[in-house]
Amino acid sequence: MKEERISLVTGSSRGIGRAIALRLADVTSGVAVHYKENEAAAQEVVRLIEGKGKLARAFRADLTDEDASKGLIKSIESHFGRLDILVNNFGPIIDKPWQELTTADWELMYRSVFLSAFWCISGALPGMRERRWGRIINIGYNRVEQLVAFSKITSYAVAKTALLILTRSVAAAEVKSGITVNMVSPGLIEGGMTPARGKISPEYFGKAADVAEAVSFLASDKASHISGTNLIVAGAWKL
């Protein structure tokens, strides 16, 4: 991977996003750290990246808003001069029985998980096309392709399924532009929102760093002929 490339990881002040940002700092010249509320946590990630001798800056944006999402991309391009790698990690989980979901819940999940990615992709594509190189990686979840029923994360599962369809649609459209578009789908990750640990064999739990390594590979030149795929990082969980 060329050192001059700049990456953005949305929702990178903590958890999986934080691990991805720190890993991409090892292989690019700079990382844009995005946060919605916790500036202190985002600035800590910035300090860790700068400690690696790389460029970093924290950017605040509410990605449930179209103007804020597209404005984030413009701010990053203005500050760094380019954006080469976009990782769409932002988005909460609503843990609630589907019968209790409100219209506001559905709208929040759709805007957070799906539309935020759509808006960021739309903003990033022109610069990537101009340079004829780009990597877009969307974060899914491990059962996104199985279309199974979920009683408590229905809205999350629906939004992530839509994101997978978007991933493959953009990948097909950009096949001649030098831009690859993929999804990485984590399973049970230590420190994440998972079922009670005592009920699940410890071998099924991965680390945020495992997801970060998968993203780093798909962002590299080694993955130049991989596009439209969904890389599941879940061990053998729920096969």
Tell me the catalytic residues. Answer: 156
- CB neighbourhood size of 228 (10 A): 17
Q: How many Å is the Cα radius of gyration of the chain? A: 17
DSSP structure string for 166-193: HHHHHHHHTTTTTEEEEEEEE-SBTTSS
- CB neighbourhood size of 229 (10 A): 16
From the list 3, 2, 10, 37, the residue with the least C-alpha distance to 123 is: 10
| β strands within 41-165, DSSP E | 55-60, 85-88, 134-139
What SS3 state is found at 134?
A: strand
